[in-house]
Amino acid sequence: MIESHVWFNFIPFKTIRLDLFHNTFHLAGNLLLLAPLTFYLLIFYPKDKIGKLLFIVFITSVSIETIQFILTCSSSLFTNTYYRGFDIDDIILNTAGGLGLGMIMKLLKLSKAVQEGHDAPGK
């Protein structure tokens, strides 16, 4: 009999609390994982609301975790190794990273617009 070791976490902030002091690399990686997606969404769709872009980042993160869960469950049937299947905290961190980058980019754009307004001749 093959024993499977699939791990999942459906309790929000459980692994974030554990990783905060022991595995900050994991936290940083999850915060930055979907940053390129957020960056490109803001570049190619600058007029879209941050909420819409955040929803896309959230759905992407849920899709990644769901695929990871399905692949983990199916592969654990044939191997005797530990797998990490699904972690709600990964979704929280991926989405928070997208929100953080989105807010920074929007603030930089606003700051640039204000600065250009002050530098305009006749003002």
| Alpha helices, DSSP H, located in 1-123 | 14-22, 24-32, 35-44, 50-76, 88-119
- pLDDT tens across 10-63, in order? 999 998 988 888 888 989 999 999 999 999 999 998 888 889 999 999 999 999
Q: What angle do CA 79, 74, 86 make, to 5 degrees?
A: 100
- Sign of the alpha-carbon dihedral angle for 86, 92, 95, 101: negative
Q: What is the pTM of this model?
A: 0.82
* Residue 77 confidence (pLDDT) above 80: no
- Which helix or strand (DSSP H or E) is residue 5 part of? strand 5-9
Domain layout of the chain by residue ranges: 5-112
Compare 98 and 21 and report the one with higher pLDDT.
98
